Amino acid sequence: MSNEKGKIPKLFSGSLDDLTKPGKKKKEEKDLKKEKKQKTLYISLDTNRKLIELYAEEGRRQSKIVEDAVDLYYYLKKALGERKFDELMEVVKREDPELLRDYLERFKA
């Protein structure tokens, strides 16, 4: 014989209010723009130096600068497409502001 057959069902362990009041239908939607996430960000010393320089120049929170950088990266990749974005990143990796400025001039209409 199976133990399941003779087993006594579990009783409701909540309060009487839980049984008589209608449940909450709406789940609270979380705002992804404001929900804080604890993540570890590993960056190079050079990137850290650039982040400190940006923080000093703009006087904003470092997390805001990182969020803006991620948004910029994301939307540039979406807008330019894979090939053009990779080309742009190659120019950026050369760390030459003049070369980057000349490259971006080509996109002006």
pLDDT classification of 86: cutoffs 50, 70, 90:
very high
CB 85 within 8 A of CB 76: yes
Rounded to an integer, the average pLDDT of 5-11 is: 72
Select the more confidently predicted residue: 4 or 51. 51
**What would the pLDDT profile of 26-51 be if each residue is shown by its tens digit?**
555 566 666 666 667 788 899 889 98
pLDDT classification of 12: cutoffs 50, 70, 90:
low
What CA–CA distances, in Å, run from 78 to 38, 87, 96, 98? 26, 14, 24, 25
What pLDDT was estimated at residue 8? 76
How far apart are alpha carbons 101 and 97 in whole angstroms?
A: 6
What pLDDT was estimated at residue 60? 81
Select the more confidently predicted residue: 66 or 3. 66
Is the pLDDT assigned to residue 78 strictly greater than 90? yes
- Nearest CA to 63 out of 41, 46, 47 is that of 41
Residue for token pair 């971006």: 104
